[in-house]
Amino acid sequence: MLNRQGRPTIAAGDAPVVASAAEHHTFTGNRALQQIEPLLFEIGSTERCGVDLDEPAPFTARLGALEAAAPVDLPALSEPETMRHFVRLSQKNYGIDTGMFPLGSCTMKHNPRLNERMARLPGFADVHPLQPVATVQGALAVMDQLAHWLLTLTGMPAVALSPKAGAHGELLGLMAIKAAIAASGEGATRNVVLVPESAHGTNPATAALLGFRVKSVPAREDGAVHLDDVAGLLGPDVAAIMLTNPNTCGLFEPQIVEIAAALHAAGGYFYCDGANFNAIVGKVRPGDLGVDAMHINLHKTFSTPHGGGGPGAGPVVLSERLAPFAPVPFVRRGADGQFALVEQAGEGDAAQAFGRLTAFHGQMGMYVRALSFMLSHGGEGLRQASEDAVLSANYVRASLADLLTTPFGDRPCMHEALFDDAWLKDTGVTTLDIAKALIDEGFHPMTVYFPLVVHGAMLIEPTESESKVSLDLFIAAMRDLAMAVKRGDVERFTGAPRHAPLRRLDETRAARQPVLRWTRPQPVA
């Protein structure tokens, strides 16, 4: 795929690059601000370096026989080249700061830069996790304050901060449940986890990883999980249910309190997937619903940046019954007001702790950002944010309901509006085409084909960060697309995107002939 000048060339059978009909060729292949950027390995060299490093004073190596004979074969770029390389790459990305990013289930809200500044204070960023605790009292105070906000907002008695993502939090919650069941002597028999068909894929994956048998709770036509369906599956073998609330269809589960009570009566636990907590902060406390464990995605609800796929943070709030099994480490405040870290399972406060889920103490950088977000909003601001998120989603729903189709009728949604593809039937246009056409209109697409229980799902989560002007433009664009579908302008969709840096990518080829790293081109013999 590469020629010897190090430029990416055309891959498929040396066919020439064909510009889209509306475009002109350029000599370089660049198009003004859209620049082709080779891989760094194609423009770098092993002769260059972007860092000036002095020669150390003479020393006698103590590496035994394990010193490598030669440097690792990786090219470098000088500093200006590095800057340009990554700035150009950044320009091929869509972020929240670029425009509306209504990716359902992902809560792409504004990321305040104040939070970045706070996380970079040397007192937080330049602190080692194993310093004497007397030298990190401020860091432990951040963890303590974050815990206080999370407990107050959820109405729960305990929180474990260390998980590094939502799925990592699920792992923690189900481990605590498994540990509690083992402690009660039912470990051998209570081994089923109920998961609704509408659940995030991480839910069944987590349960299966821990050796639970996954039983599916069927989807109903109204998008809700029904008490009858759950009750029919309950028994002495059921360890827990994993229920998302508000659920992935964008609805508050109407029977959630009854389902929790039924679970508890049958000796099981209620794990709540808190991915959609942004809909109810300051409005409903999960603790009042009967939740035993719930992870909170700090990178969703509390705005720590998604960063192109991480790092996240997924603290888990726990009920009284599960709290003793929380893993190490955790922070304790002594009578003298000094904070201590409990780092060893099996001792003292951590006598029943089930173990450890990560080295050190979790995502400190994310704790600072989330706390900065909370302090900025205050209690009433967080409540207002959730109300605005729900209001905006319903505004989108109400503004599109006459042209698109909704799977669950005209009922209000929570913070995300769900449409199906019934309105696309026999048009030649698919949900994926709508997503790609939205790219051309300057928006990031909504979540598509999730939840799985809704055919051709389009899940739109505007969040509280969009202005009315922005919402109106999105609505107008969606209405225009819908009208184009009805007019039969199929070409606009199947050819999209036309204005992105690349056209649609061949995912089948990527999976069939995996190329997962660059390799140095061999000289032609």
Partner 1 sequence: MRYLPLSGADREIMLGRIGVSAVDALFADAPPECLRDQAPDLPRRKGEMAVERALGRLAARNVSAGSVPFFLGAGAYRHHVPATVDHLIQRSEFLTSYTPYQPEIAQGTLQYLFEFQTQVAALTGMEVANASMYDGSTACAEAVLMAQRITRRKRAVLSGGLHPHYADVTHTVCGFAGDSITSLPPDVAASEDIISQIGPDTSCVVVQSPDVFGNLRDLAPIAEAAHRAGALLVAVVTEAVSFGLLTSPGAQGADIVVAEGQSIGNALNFGGPYVGLFAARSKFVRQMPGRLCGATVDAEGRRGFVLTLSAREQHIRRDKATSNICTNSGLCCLAFTIHMTLLGGHGLRQLARINHANAVALADRLAALPGVSVLNRSFFNEFTVKLAGRDAAEVVERLAACGVLGGVPVSRLLPGAGLDDLLLVASTEVNTDEDRAALADALAAVLGEIAAC
- Per CB under 8 A, contacts with partner 1 among 41-100 are 41, 44, 46-51, 53-57, 59-68, 71-77, 79, 82-83, 85-87, 89-98
Q: Is 170 in the site for partner 1 (CB under 8 A)?
A: yes
Q: Distance (Å, rounded) from C-alpha 129 to C-alpha 126?
A: 10
> Least distance from C-beta 191 to partner 1, angstroms?
11
How many CB atoms are located within 10 Å of the residue 508 CB? 8
Whichever of 261 and 484 has its CB closer to partner 1, that residue is 261
For residues 182, 253, 256 and 224, what is the CA-based torsion angle, rounded to 10 degrees? -80
Pick the stretch among 184-192, 234-242, 261-269, 514-522 that binds partner 1 (CB under 8 A). Answer: 514-522
Whichever of 319 and 392 has its CB closer to partner 1, that residue is 392
Q: Is 110 in the site for partner 1 (CB under 8 A)?
A: yes
Q: Distance (Å, rounded) from C-alpha 503 to C-alpha 497?
A: 6
Q: Which residues pair with 208 in a beta bridge?
A: none
Q: Which helix (H) or strand (E) holds 474?
A: helix 468-487
> Least distance from C-beta 519 to partner 1, angstroms?
8
Whichever of 508 and 523 has its CB closer to partner 1, that residue is 508
- Among residues 35, 376, 427, 430, which is the contact residue for partner 1, using CB under 8 A? 376
Q: Distance (Å, rounded) from C-alpha 78 to C-alpha 507?
A: 34
> Least distance from C-beta 429 to partner 1, angstroms?
17
Q: Is 249 in the site for partner 1 (CB under 8 A)?
A: no
Q: Distance (Å, rounded) from C-alpha 438 to C-alpha 443?
A: 6
Instruction: Judge whether 187 and 181 are in contact, CB under 8 Å.
Output: yes
- Among residues 270, 395, 419, 423, which is the contact residue for partner 1, using CB under 8 A? 395
HEC profile for 288-335? HHCCCEEECCCCCCCCCCCCCCCCCCCCEEECCCCHHHCCECEEEECC
Q: Distance (Å, rounded) from C-alpha 310 to C-alpha 307?
A: 5
Among positions 184-223, residues that touch partner 1 (CB under 8 A) are 200-202, 204-211, 214
Q: Distance (Å, rounded) from C-alpha 166 to C-alpha 467?
A: 28
> Least distance from C-beta 286 to partner 1, angstroms?
9
Among positions 279-338, residues that touch partner 1 (CB under 8 A) are 280, 282-285, 288-289, 305-313, 327
Whichever of 158 and 256 has its CB closer to partner 1, that residue is 256
Q: Which residues pair with 319 in a beta bridge?
A: none
Q: Is 141 in the site for partner 1 (CB under 8 A)?
A: yes
Among residues 119, 125, 121, which one has the least CA distance to residue 146? Answer: 119
SS3 17: coil
Whichever of 334 and 514 has its CB closer to partner 1, that residue is 514
Q: Is 146 in the site for partner 1 (CB under 8 A)?
A: no
Pick the stretch among 227-235, 236-244, 261-269, 343-351 that binds partner 1 (CB under 8 A). Answer: 343-351
Among residues 255, 237, 248, 249, which one has the least CA distance to residue 274? Answer: 248
- Among residues 8, 157, 187, 267, which is the contact residue for partner 1, using CB under 8 A? 8
Among positions 416-475, residues that touch partner 1 (CB under 8 A) are 435-436, 439, 444-445, 450, 464-468, 470
Give residue 476's identity as a one-letter amino acid code: A
Q: Is 476 in the site for partner 1 (CB under 8 A)?
A: no
- Among residues 6, 187, 267, 497, which is the contact residue for partner 1, using CB under 8 A? 497
Q: Is 178 in the site for partner 1 (CB under 8 A)?
A: yes
